[in-house]
Amino acid sequence: MFKRVLIANRGEIAIRIMRTCKRLAIPTVAIYTAPDHHCKHVLLADKSELLTSDLGINPYLDMDAIMEVAERMKVDAVHPGYGFISEKADFSRRCEKEGIAFIGPGPAAMELLGNKLASREFMEKHGIHTTPGTLSPLTDAAEARKEAARIGYPIMLKAAGGGGGRGLRIVEKEEDIEQAFESARNEAEKAFKDSKIFMERRVIRPRHIEFQMVGDSKGHGFCLGERECSIQRRNQKLVEETPSTAVTDEMRQELFPKLADALVKSGYQSLCTFEFLMNPAGELFFMEANTRIQVEHPITEQVIGLDLVEMQLKIASGKDVERELGEVHPWGAAMEFRINAENPFNSFFPSPGRIEKYIEPSGEGIRVDSHAYEGYMVTSDFDSLLAKLICYGKDRNEVMRIAKDALDRYTLTGIKTTIPYHRLVIRSQAFRTGNYSTDFVRDHQPTELIKEESFSLYEGGH
């Protein structure tokens, strides 16, 4: 398949990719920065290289520095993971030019679907509804005011060049539009070097549903099911599950072929995620596409029985995967709980520091993807994600039972983490009924969840 793969990432996802590469007997090269010299992915790779940058930026974003390592180590493929350079079409193009396989989509498909405005227009042309809004960037605050009056308040101003809540502003009334527009534009420029802003009508109390797509190297498209990602803080996901309790079999039968057809028409090859909002009436509106592997991909793996990183590797090397993907029949249910170094009792504020004690739960129906260990120094240099607890079983009720037990046994001390909040979520009536929205965290703060329950919160993971 490949002789040597450079993993252009760090932490949990780097280790996740290495695990598949080792199973397939593919040697790996890790890169790391000075603050990451103690990271587990550095030790687990076959070879590790210190990455530095002369550009005054995070070295994991320095494409020249990464390519220098790739060429020096004579790798024939690069896996970007998620974040950092994973959705940079210029890097995909650079790999193509240098004769190194980019384990992800080609630059043209990435530019089409990875651009929020272009992808919205593309999906509309293929019969997939988007939220009412603009299909081109807003020129100034005056145009924003005019478009908001046409669309109707409340609206959202969103950065065209990125996501994660940066460059996003919710505007409830006309008098706030000018300040919100300038603030969103400035933040977008700072975060993404792209100040373009567009507008969408805000869907009230939506659910966040995403669909796992795969395009193979032979011109076929597949939808491998959906994931519910509505439990979020600051537009960042905390808990994901599959299948969604809000998506019916009728909806799947109608939508899956449309999504697969759109993916094929885009010329896309590799994993991709189509993200939607669902309003209280059950209508789905396309938001954006993520042109990379998702943090929450393990729950899809558990219900379809395939290794999605292996699928990426096979597609990038030109192997035929049509039969494997065509025979997928999701079974059972799965949930993922993101273990972040954050204090849920203090507005999920970051909690760097040294991990004193670390014990992962194990057993049937439990999987942990992590780069944490006892003595690990969590810094504020990178994302706060330490681990992902994945639980799976024959149905949602069994998964909740497994997750409750696993969370109670997950021990991580020395810093604050999201484990105590997850323990509250899995016990809350709103989550257990499956009837919740992206307002869940706002409506169910930790102190309020404790009041709702009669149990004593076990603090072993706090």
292 is catalytic: yes
Which member of 169, 292, 338, 423 is catalytic?
292
Q: What is the 3-state secondary structure (H, E, C) of the chain?
A: CCCCEEECCCHHHHHHHHHHHHHCCCCEEEEECHHHCCCHHHHHCCEEEECCCCCCCCHHHCHHHHHHHHHHCCCCEEECCCCCCCCCHHHHHHHHHHCCEECCCCHHHHHHHHCHHHHHHHHHHCCCCECCECCCCCCCHHHHHHHHHHHCCCEEEEECCCCCCCCCEEECCHHHHHHHHHHHHHHHHHHHCCCCEEEEECCCCCEEEEEEEEECCCCCEEEEEEEEEEEEECCEEEEEEECCCCCCHHHHHHHHHHHHHHHHHCCCCEEEEEEEEECCCCCEEEEEEECCCCCCHHHHHHHHCCCHHHHHHHHHCCCCCHHHHHCCCCCCEEEEEEEECEEHHHCCEECCEECCEEECCCCCCEEEEECCCCCCEECCCCCCEEEEEEEEECCHHHHHHHHHHHHHHCEEECCCCCHHHHHHHHHCHHHHHCCCCCCHHHHCCHHHHHHHCCCCCCCCCC
Active site residues: 292
